[in-house]
Structures are given as structure tokens and as C-alpha cells.
Amino acid sequence: MIIIPSGHYYYEITINGELTAVEEAWVRPGSLTARRESAANKAAYEVEAAVDNSGFVYRIQLRYRHGPFARSARYDVIDDVMQGSIRTLSTTSSAQVQLGRFREVDADLTICKTLIVAHLRRREQRQWTGKVALIDSTTLLARAVKQSYAQTDAVGLTWLFEPTMGERETLEFDHSDRLLRARDQRGFEAKLRSADGRSA
């Protein structure tokens, strides 16, 4: 089970109007798969996550590839800890991070913001600041960070997201809880171009 609409999501990511990456996500009952590819150097980042009946990630596998260089990682949630390992061509290292009270995981993907806001809606929270396990999309290393979300309209279609102190993104949703656009004041924008093959 997952608490956001199932289907295929296609986002274009731009900086000051210039395409920098495309991001796709496939949401299915019990799983979430995503892929982001850089427009400049074709670096690829792939994620496969298993999701429980409450919509929370309990296992996640990640891969990053840039030319001949590649690394992969796997994390499993055990109680309140997400632990796993990161592999490169020559080394394997262990990694773990303490989860927050609500066990939120952000794999540095647009679809993860959608999932976290869906959890807030389910808990009927218009504002939340808490610990999130953030996974770096290049190093694949997980660390605990504090993030904030706040609903800024009456019906819950617009949210303010603070990934770190001093940084802000505006998140715009449709009535089906799909994230249509994420943007900040520095020119970053992630825009949903299609969902299930239909233009957004």
C-alpha cells in the first residue's frame, strides 16, 4: 500500500529555465521506484523502495553511475534505525542513521516530498518540523537532518518546505495529491510534465 496516487510521474528539473535533469517515478502498491538522469553528463541515480501499509519506507536500494564510476547502497529499517552498506568498485562500508519519531525518509527525490506531505495530511498536521533520514544522491550516504513543512493555503494545495535553515521551496499540489511543481528563489524548479502518460 502507498498513500499517494499510483502511476508514472515524469518531472523536468531546471535551473533558471535551463534543463538540468529529468526525474521519473513509478508508484505502485507496496513499492516506489525512481530514476533521475543529468542532462549534462548523463549521471544516473536510481532508487527502489519497499513501503509498508502506513506508507513508510522499510527497505531501500540505491544506485549511482557516472561514466565508469558506480556505487550502490542498501538500507533496511530495523526498529528506529536505518542501517545498511555502501559499495563501490573496490570498497564496502557500513552506514546507519537514527530515524525520527515519524520515520520519514528522503532519498533526495521529488516524489519523496510528495510522500512526506501525504503523511502530514494523514496526521492532519498543517505544520511540522522534525528529523528526516536524508540520503545523498551522489554519495548514497544517509544522515539525519531537520526539515520543516508548512501548509500555506486553506485547502492544502500549497506548502512551504525548508530542507535546511535558510532554504525554502514552494510546493504546489493538485487535488489528487500529486506534486505539480517545486521551486525556490534561486531559480530551481521541478515541474510535473506528465502523469500516467497524460500531460500535467
CATH classification of 7-194, choosing from 2.60.40, 2.50.20, 3.60.21, 2.40.160? 2.50.20
Specify whether the CB–CB gap between 132 and 115 falls below 8 A. Answer: no
68-82 per-position pLDDT tens digit: 999 999 999 999 999
For residue 88, CA distances in Å to 35, 47, 60, 68, 76 come to 19, 16, 17, 11, 19
> How large is the average pLDDT for residues 78-94?
95
| Res. 1: pLDDT tops 70 | no
Domains of the chain by residue range: 7-194
| Res. 174: pLDDT tops 90 | yes
> How large is the average pLDDT for residues 7-15?
97
pLDDT at position 183, please?
97
| Res. 199: pLDDT tops 80 | no
122's enclosing H/E stretch is helix 110-122
pTM, entire model:
0.94
Q: Give the pLDDT band of residue 166 (cuts 50, 70, 90).
A: confident
